[in-house]
Structure 1
Amino acid sequence: MTAKNISLVLNKINDISFQDWEVPQITDPHDVIVEVKKTGICGSDIHYYTHGKIGNFVLTKPMVLGHESSGVVSSIGDAVTSVKVGDRVAIEPGVPSRLSDEYKGGKYNLCPHMVFAATPNSVEGEPNPPGTLGKYFKSPEDFLVKLPDHVSLELGALVEPLTVGVHAAKLASIRFRDIVVVFGAGPVGLLAASVAKLFGASEILIVDIADDKLQLAKKIGVADFIFNSKTGGGASGLIKAFDGKVPTVVLECTGAPPCIKLAVEILKAGGRMVQIGNAGGDVQFPITEFATKELTLFGSFRYGFEDYKTAVAILDENYKNGKEHAPVDYESLITHRYKFKDAVAAYDFVKTGGAVKCIIDGPE
């Protein structure tokens, strides 16, 4: 490894710079050092960049950005057996406390002591967990997943948001013949739709207010139907656009109050709804209709056990017969690519809303 770990650092709101940070060292026999090759920009990154916080996570000190990454194993601890130097891996960016009740109970994503890349740490005097937008990143071996030969490093950077969709589909218990509506045609919504289809959904409608994103949903093969909620005429218009079908499952990926309300209105009695998108604050909720329909609402936070491996397996299966025969064109989600030296420009561009998914190369 080189002596420097050039990293992209968020110093404060609207202030990003390149800095040399400490090169991570192996301190546990199960540690792995990964040389980062590809990193996606997430909406949460932009939220920290422009607002300095998401909910209770508030930026108070500099933080290396990035958590959607893949790379190549650079060095390993003495006890590592699952990966070797040179392996290409997807990095699961959140490591829980191995002592927490949540970890022991099988819900480690809810661990209150989670160390999650590029997420502010509220403990006085302690640095923020490092993000993945640097030369090197340290991870326990069991939070790395090897990439199959025909899954590129770019696709490896899509594993993190794809895993959000996997977790939501598991929560909703999506099964054969479910009829699914996905609110939001951003990366998470499109990826969640692809997972819903694989889990058995018979037909999927994707809702957004941007026609170009809706057309992309059709192009890449994740939407059977599309609906523009800005011009489509509310619940009755949506059901009409869905060829009269009433959904049994909603995956809500926007956090927008009108979408949350519409989701309750369109769901079939006894249906399930997963709230994936983050709202800006409290929202009004149609509780009477929710109750009388006996709907079930699930909160969804990141991902849990086996979700990352499932997401990699999805990409493996999708591309096993080559790109030209892939059922879903995941690569078309990557609309913009930047060199690491241009990473600040990448963040400024994504901030304008002009990208579906932007990928930044690792430092050369």
Structure 2
Amino acid sequence: MNTIESIPASMRVSELLGTDSLTVTDRPVPSPRADEVLVRVTSVGVCGSDTHYFTHGRIGPFVVEQPLVLGHEASGVIVAVGSDVDAERIGSRVSIEPQRPCRVCEQCKKGAYNLCPQMQFFATPPIDGAFAEYVTIQSDFAHDVPDSVSAHAAALMEPLAVGVWACQKAQVTIGTRVLVAGAGPIGVITAQVARAMGASEVIVTDVSEERLAFAAKHGATRTLVGGEPIDEVSVDAFIDASGAAPAVRAGIPAVAPGGRVVLVGLGADELTLPVNLLQNRELWLTGVFRYANTWPTAIELVASGRVNLDLLVTHTFGLDEVEGALMAGRLPGALKAVVEPWR
């Protein structure tokens, strides 16, 4: 292992012990494998999946059965590298793409590594995440960020990667009309990405007028209070970032023939859909599962100023305050909480 600073033997981490149970404890600092780097974590965004694991102990087939470190939206500084990694990388500020695919299966070889059946993803049981002082990641998944990008924004490249992937799936380009359901962090990010990709109209729906007001300032060309049929709207693409069944059912009829429906939000395991409408209009319907090859685009969108991630951060917490971070979504005006492990 190559390093230019003294690395401690142990580090502090926040462990999820079980439903509604967290503790801060010491663990050995991981040593990077030959192809990995050791990152001193500076910022970690809180995702809805982190909160779901905390309150429910599982998401679908992924069940917390042993102490788990949550957090997968992370940034930091490389402080050591494995034997196969150029030592010049030490000191680099990076955004972490929090996954390790096998790289040899059929999905990986065709570029869809997000669908790798052997994927090891941060904070998805039993793989630990980034609510810790240090993490390791394969070198090519530690993406350099320019000095103009803040530590918080570098961490939030992860949800931005979701927005980029969703807009790519929706084939957003110059002149596209887009409907986005949900004005939470992913919805606002997706609206910004759609505008950056050339969408001429970006309509955002939500049940919260406060969040709609925020979206109107940051990406949306128009906002609508959601939950009811959108009779007067006709779009080329509908991206659901809410996971709410009523929002999905209301959004699909707004899609013009040949248009695209992209499901991003996590909601019910099963959903009733208007099959006749999907067939008669020949609509394309797809889901989004993480992302692949999106970080370069995400970094460029932020570095160029076309997407602003810093404006999403409303609350920050230390490693001893992770429970508060996980529950921050209940606070008035909350949008995105960030944990700073060294705070």
TM range (shorter): over 0.9
* 2:169 aligned residue: 171
* 2:147 aligned residue: 149
* 1:247 aligned residue: 235
CA–CA distance in structure 2, aligned partners of residues 80 and 334 of structure 1: 33
Q: Please say if residues 46 and 351 of structure 1, whose CA atoms lie closer than 8 Å, have aligned partners that are also in contact.
A: no
* 1:304 aligned residue: 292
Q: How does 1:1-364 map to 2 (within 5 A)?
A: 1-28=7-34, 30-81=35-86, 84-120=89-125, 128-219=126-217, 221-230=218-227, 233-236=228-231, 239=232, 245-305=233-293, 307-318=294-305, 328-350=307-329, 355-364=334-343
1:290-343 deviation per Cα after TM superposition (whole angstroms, max 9, x unaligned): 1111100111110002x011111110111xxxxxxxx55432211111122322
- The one-letter code sitting in structure 1 at the alignment partner of 2:244 is A
CA–CA distance in structure 2, aligned partners of residues 156 and 315 of structure 1: 9
Q: Number of aligned pairs? A: 337
- The one-letter code sitting in structure 2 at the alignment partner of 1:200 is G
TM-score by length of structure 2 reads 0.94
CA–CA distance in structure 2, aligned partners of residues 269 and 286 of structure 1: 14
Q: Please say if residues 181 and 251 of structure 1, whose CA atoms lie closer than 8 Å, have aligned partners that are also in contact.
A: yes
- The one-letter code sitting in structure 2 at the alignment partner of 1:178 is T
1:207-226 deviation per Cα after TM superposition (whole angstroms, max 9, x unaligned): 1000111111122x201000
CA–CA distance in structure 2, aligned partners of residues 48 and 341 of structure 1: 18
- The one-letter code sitting in structure 2 at the alignment partner of 1:33 is L
Q: Please say if residues 37 and 71 of structure 1, whose CA atoms lie closer than 8 Å, have aligned partners that are also in contact.
A: yes
- Quote how far apart the aligned CAs of 1:39 are: 0.5
1:143-162 deviation per Cα after TM superposition (whole angstroms, max 9, x unaligned): 01111110010111110000
SS in 2 for 1:181: strand
5+ residue gaps, structure 2? 1-6
CA–CA distance in structure 1, aligned partners of residues 17 and 57 of structure 2: 10
1:119-150 deviation per Cα after TM superposition (whole angstroms, max 9, x unaligned): 01xxxxxxx21211101000110101111110
SS in 1 for 2:54: helix
Higher strand share: 2
CA–CA distance in structure 2, aligned partners of residues 161 and 268 of structure 1: 28
- Quote how far apart the aligned CAs of 1:31 are: 1.2
1:17-69 deviation per Cα after TM superposition (whole angstroms, max 9, x unaligned): 111122111232x2100000000000000011111111111111110011001
SS in 2 for 1:8: strand
SS in 2 for 1:315: helix
5+ residue gaps, structure 1? 121-127, 240-244, 319-326
1:53-101 deviation per Cα after TM superposition (whole angstroms, max 9, x unaligned): 1111111111001100100111012322396111110000011012221
Q: Please say if residues 14 and 50 of structure 1, whose CA atoms lie closer than 8 Å, have aligned partners that are also in contact.
A: yes
Q: Please say if residues 237 and 255 of structure 2, whose CA atoms lie closer than 8 Å, have aligned partners that are also in contact.
A: yes
CA–CA distance in structure 2, aligned partners of residues 112 and 268 of structure 1: 35
CA–CA distance in structure 1, aligned partners of residues 289 and 83 of structure 2: 33
CA–CA distance in structure 2, aligned partners of residues 354 and 215 of structure 1: 11
